[in-house]
A and B are shown apart, each in its own frame.
Chain A
Amino acid sequence: MSPAVAIVLTAGLTATACGLLGPLLVLRREALVGDAVSHSVLPGIVLVHLVLGTRATLPVIVGAAAFGVVCVLALEALRSTGLVRADAAIALVFPALFSLGLLGVDRWAADIHLDLDSTIYGQIAFVPFRTLVLGAVAVPQSVVAIGAVALVDLLLLVAFWKQVKVATFDPGFARTTGVDPTVVARVLLTAVAATAVTAFEAVGAIVVIALLVVPAATAHLLTDRLGVMIAVSVAVGWVAAVSGYAGAVALDASIGGAMGVVATCCFVLALLLSPQHGVLTRALRRRQRVRAAGRAAAGRGTAAVPPTPLRRPGTCAAGGSCRPAGGRWRPGTLALPCARAAGTGALPPRTAAGAGGCTTRLAQASAPGRRSR
């Protein structure tokens, strides 16, 4: 297996594992769990060093994974009290665990080099050098490890698809149908912790954090269906893996960093051009609608409203609030004249009708076929 293939394969498998779990995290508003886990594993590493006196890969991964699980269970416990929101829970748990690790390093491991960068955070460029002989072929260790984790994630997801879906979108309903959302959350977060820790060791933390969040966020902009979202997010992850590697080689820069950048570029593209939710597509649609409505009004002989830039209902060019004057909105008109007198910016008494200085758009909210956001 050539180095390039080994690296891309490892990154792609990481993207697969992350792409399977990331969408669920994004939908549960826990996108930053990967980042939290990446900091929380330190006490586990210190503990393994303290008890076993080793920095070998397997025990370190086990110790780190244990504290990754501690971290996500603590998050879930804090969240389930209902007193702390998800973001604050993350911000409470990971600094505490990381500090515990730092104190441990200071107390028991100051004499050896127990650096996060060298102990737990691998470098994807080193993947081809650590191989494992399977049968007669030398396969990189990380391909085997991450492939196994991705397979387990996939099996879990397929086996508990219905439960995961209902617990993610409607925890209350899940409870009434006998699916305990807390159990689902714990299993999911444990899988995330195990996946993340295994992948940290092979490809480095930032790749994992980026691949957990960015492809899922991209997919969330492109689709409303969970299955499609997961597929898209795996695909975006693979695109990031392949073109990130090519870009890194061309630039002579960090492979992991380049993968993150490519994934972010995909996100930006989706943000601008997504058919449903894209910023540009929405602006374009709005403009077309304004023009069509203007033409329709002109065709019926009613006074056409000139296409002015659209504003949020209730705001007007003079700033602040405004209220429509001159009664109810009727189909065919695009906007109501605002009661705010032109130029002065002052609101006239409520009885005064009309001469509008600006318009309050109502057509936007009542246009047919528009999905409410």
Chain B
Amino acid sequence: MDALIDALPLPYTDAVVATGAAVLGLLAGLVGVLAVLRRRTLVGDALSHAALPGVAVAFLLAGVKDTVSLLVGAAVAGTLAAVLVLALERSSRVRPDTAIGVVLSGSFSLGIVLLTHIAATGDAGQAGLQDYLFGQAAGLVQADVTLFAALAAGTVVVLALLHRPLTVVLFDAAFARSTGLPIRLLELVSTVLLVVAVVVGLRTVGAILMVAMIVVPAVAARQVTGRLATMLVVAGVVGAAVGTAGSLLSTATRTPTGPVVVLLGAGVVLLALSLAPGRGVLWHARRLRRDRRRRQREGVLVDVAAAGPAPVAASALGAGRPSRAVRRTLRRLRRDGLVRATGAGWSLTAAGQGAATAVLARRELWWAWLEHGAEVAVGDAREPDPDDLAGSLGAEAVERLRALGGTAPAVAGGAR
């Protein structure tokens, strides 16, 4: 750690904050995967509130504002709260979010009552107890960084050892139980990992940053992969990258570190949610548009072919389609050299004739599949890909289907 901090071309304090944010990001990314997959992202929020009565009780017992006893009180109360959340979910019809909400508000209320009661008894030493728990990202010191690094290393070891059973428990708890895995133990281990990381994080960087750092890398990683191992690696890397970039950015712009890291993380998640291949919102929208265009194109092409060799007017084409879409599709087809415009209307070129024949052949194959698919032996048990029926069925099955033939469905949709 020391060597790394010294090696960075930054002033000492900035280097410590940057390294600390990176290691914290890595740690939070790893435990965050467990939290997000088990719908426990807000445990951090609950713990940050639940620590308050712990601090109050520790102060009542110790009688002085002593860092160690207050931290121990906070950690005990936090663990108790996490266990309570688990027990509530398991023992009754209370759902995870409600359990977190009840524990959060109940313990925070209790903490406030205790604190105000202490204040009313006239002990001046209690002032500022409430703020004792929460740190600032800019206030990281080297010892914190070393602690984070040790925790991250421990988490990596535990995750590596428990990778297989954890995967089963996370994705199919009922199956895991039926195979005899010690589910409660595994849940406890992952909860302990989460709680330790959160309590340490709260003390050093504050509740808000900790909540964000737990959820951001895991959600971003979930968008790009469906495998637990990959997700853990990606989340660790994203967490470290967001932490480093955020702290460097905040140093450069002289802004508070925590909020900059959080906002940067939110940006990364938005990016992942919109662009992730196969899942992202924009990705989906693009595929939808591409598919719609292709269908329009094939529909109009077939309609022109069906009108015969004589040119046909645009208004006579594509019954049921918006006329603007038909005209736009015709322009695209002309650009590709599949149709040509004459004075009287539109007609197919030679290439267009070929394309229309291919589309019709594909449709006939599809109708045949719908009608006789059950009679044809196919090597693959899965449903074939409707966009590439011939390719996914194989030449033999296609041959048989063509021999059996199919008729167009009676619905008008079949003619498109």
What's the count of A-B pairs with C-beta under 8 Å?
204
Tell me if A206 counts as interface (CB < 8 A to partner B). yes
Contact of A260 among B40, B105, B214 (CB under 8 A): B105
Binds B, one of A5-13, A166-174, A213-221, A229-237: A213-221
Contact A83 B223, beta carbon cutoff 8 Å: yes
Cα separation A34 to B97 with both chains bound (whole Å)? 12
Cα separation A102 to B261 with both chains bound (whole Å)? 12
Contact A260 B109, beta carbon cutoff 8 Å: yes
CB distance from A293 to the nearest CB of B (A): 24
Tell me if A209 counts as interface (CB < 8 A to partner B). yes
Contact of B45 among A35, A210, A320 (CB under 8 A): A35
Contact of B212 among A95, A213, A221, A252 (CB under 8 A): A95
Contact B109 A217, beta carbon cutoff 8 Å: no
Tell me if B228 counts as interface (CB < 8 A to partner A). no
Contact A258 B113, beta carbon cutoff 8 Å: yes
A residues near B269, Cβ cutoff 8 Å: 92
B residues near A100, Cβ cutoff 8 Å: 259, 263
Question: Which residues of B in the span 168-201 have a Cβ within 8 Å of any Cβ on A?
Answer: 177-180, 182
Given known A-B contacts A32-B42, A102-B258, A26 and B279 have beta carbons under 8 A apart? no
A residues near B279, Cβ cutoff 8 Å: 83
CB distance from A269 to the nearest CB of B (A): 13
A residues near B114, Cβ cutoff 8 Å: 253
Given known A-B contacts A88-B41, A92-B219, A320-B182, A261 and B262 have beta carbons under 8 A apart? no
Tell me if A90 counts as interface (CB < 8 A to partner B). yes
Contact of A31 among B98, B211, B258, B276 (CB under 8 A): B98
Q: How many residues of B contact A (CB 8 A)?
A: 64
For chain A, give the interface size range. Answer: 35 or more
B residues near A277, Cβ cutoff 8 Å: 92-93
Nearest chain A residue, comparing its CB with the CB of B45: A35
CB distance from A282 to the nearest CB of B (A): 9
Question: Which residues of A in the span 86-100 have a Cβ within 8 Å of any Cβ on B?
Answer: 86-88, 90-92, 94-96, 98-100
Q: A29-B96, A209-B105, A221-B94 are in contact. List 14 more A-B contacts (CB 8 A).
A: A29-B95, A32-B42, A34-B101, A88-B39, A91-B212, A92-B215, A94-B211, A98-B208, A209-B101, A214-B106, A252-B116, A257-B112, A271-B92, A320-B180
Task: Please report A residues at the B interface, Cβ cutoff 8 Å.
Answer: 26, 29-32, 34-35, 39, 78, 81, 83-88, 90-92, 94-96, 98-100, 102-103, 106-107, 206, 209-210, 212-214, 216-217, 220-221, 248, 251-254, 256-261, 263-264, 267, 271, 277-279, 314, 319-321, 373
The 4 A-B residue pairs with the shortest CB-CB distance, nearest first, are A260-B109, A257-B112, A264-B106, A99-B259
